[in-house]
A = this chain, B = another copy of it.
């Protein structure tokens, strides 16, 4: 293990609050997707929790949010501490590569350390999470592109993996490793192999890098995405001020390749030895399904009951039950084990916790039927 001392740079954060969350249907809808839903204790949204989690390390004035322009008002309402000019509205979703390129070009800061992270995640050990970000920042300051790698707790097939190699290096209290490569979501057998190797981590979509590093990396590995955005930003008359997204931005976005920042930058950069990973074990979850959310919020099968008045819930002998009552009605659950009930005014979901991934099948069916009113 080699300890390295680096310069101390300022940090800023870019939270990617796109849409999505179809597996949290029927609460998650196009008009109010996952990051903006009252999913946490006390009706708190993932976006609010994400900002609070960062605040002791990166204050709200240094937090930026990239979101679909149609959610900009919702974001302002949920996190009023974030300056309105820190909200970057995209004219349409073009996946995370475009969103990162937009943030890297448009946020006019000195060559600080930029933390990119998704809005839809939960973290149990928040202090540990911030410590890992700070360490990653130290390594990023030295030039690497750094990702946080979540120590796997099971051979999940739902995440991509980061494969570490070589010796540990210590930056600011946390170990980090060179990334050998990224692997896409594996099948069950491969997932077990990866876990057994003890050098594979879940890719949580959390990246830490200097602004100059990410701009250089994008220019090298995905110029077709970075250049049009850079050109448009250079010509944009009013920067981050109101008026975004205008026609020129929509025209630029419309032609962009929609791909993830993992494909566009991290994977090719890792093959050139420019990516590092800081392993974390902080109770992280992407809350990708109702059962993940239940597990996050429940200890030992205690029922989790969310009620939006005037709805109410009567629970008789429930175990491992999660009820979200937002349909204005009385919901009675009787003798249920490991069942999720999500009640909304126009749609109801009743789902076994084990089958929570299959909520996607319901959404697919509604899509096929053109039921946009329910999506």
User: What mask results when residues 328 to 343 of chain A are scored 1 for a CB within 8 Å of chain B, else 0?
Assistant: 0111111111010101
A316: CB under 8 A from chain B? yes
Q: In the assembled complex, which residues on chain B have CB atoms less than 8 Å from the CB atom of A337?
A: 352
Say how far A375's CB is from chain B's closest CB, in angstroms.
11
A346: CB under 8 A from chain B? yes
Q: In the assembled complex, which residues on chain B have CB atoms less than 8 Å from the CB atom of A334?
A: 349-352, 355-356, 358-359, 361-362
Q: Could you say which of A316, A332, A341, A351 has the most chain B C-beta atoms within 10 Å of its C-beta?
A: A332
Q: Give CA–CA (A364, B307) in the complex, Å.
A: 21
- A183-219 CB contacts (< 8 Å) to partner B: none
The answer on a CB contact under 8 Å between B354 and A332 is no
A152: CB under 8 A from chain B? no
The number of times this chain is found in the oligomer is 2
The answer on a CB contact under 8 Å between B317 and A358 is yes
The answer on a CB contact under 8 Å between B365 and A314 is yes
A345: CB under 8 A from chain B? yes
The answer on a CB contact under 8 Å between A345 and B362 is no
Q: Give CA–CA (A365, B30) in the complex, Å.
A: 37
Say how far A304's CB is from chain B's closest CB, in angstroms.
15
A327: CB under 8 A from chain B? yes
Say how far A79's CB is from chain B's closest CB, in angstroms.
31
Q: In the assembled complex, which residues on chain B have CB atoms less than 8 Å from the CB atom of A50?
A: none
A347: CB under 8 A from chain B? yes
Say how far A136's CB is from chain B's closest CB, in angstroms.
38
Say how far A318's CB is from chain B's closest CB, in angstroms.
9
Q: In the assembled complex, which residues on chain B have CB atoms less than 8 Å from the CB atom of A352?
A: 334-337, 339
Q: Give CA–CA (A335, B362) in the complex, Å.
A: 11
Query: Beyond A316-B362, A334-B352, A350-B350: 6 further Cβ-contacts under 8 Å?
Result: A314-B366, A332-B350, A335-B355, A335-B358, A336-B339, A336-B355
